[in-house]
Structure 1
Amino acid sequence: MSDGANTEPVTSFMDRILNLKAEEDQIKEDIKSIYAEAKAMGFDKTALGDAIARIRKLQKDPEKLSEREAIRDLYLQAYEEASHAHAPARTREG
């Protein structure tokens, strides 16, 4: 910025963003702690994360998620049908 320019707006934006980033870091630590607690109780952390991700996607845009899952299922079905059509893999003879 040039000399004598009002820097208040930009510093205000930057301070607000920095404060939110600090809160975000704390929230990430809290989430990490909850996952560790769940893992200590025997829950599968990856499966739990997958379930959370799906719920969040469903909450944001259920129609888009439904469409994406239908396409994924179509791809899986095509793959499974194609893999049954191929000859079984050969094993090495020792």
Structure 2
Amino acid sequence: MSDGNIAADQLRLFLERVERLEEEKKGMLDDIKDVYLEAKSQGFDVKTMKTIIRLRRMEKDARDEADALLETYRNALGLH
């Protein structure tokens, strides 16, 4: 095999791995969508759930800073 064939084989393998992972990701995204639909059918607010998930991913300091900034903006606009 020449170096060109080895590189082509490696490239093909990388591409196939990415394609498999993309399929798995699509399946997981579909599963997440189903969970949100189920939660919505049970009366939960999906937009608020997504906000909570985003907040839970944040470090506590970053979350506290975001909360303080939001409170500052709300106060500035009279949204008490």
Per the normalisation by structure 2, the TM-score is 0.74
Aligned residues: 74
Partner of 2:31: 30
Q: Which blocks of at least 5 consecutive residues in structure 2 are unaligned? A: none
Q: Percent identity?
A: 27
Partner of 1:75: 69
Which one has the largest radius of gyration?
Answer: 1
Q: Which blocks of at least 5 consecutive residues in structure 1 are unaligned? A: 59-64, 85-94
Give, in angstroms, the shift of residue 68 of structure 1.
Answer: 1.8
2:41 partner amino acid: A
Deviations 1:4-25 (A, max 9, x none): 7111100000000000001100
Per the normalisation by structure 1, the TM-score is 0.65
Aligned-CA RMSD value:
2.2
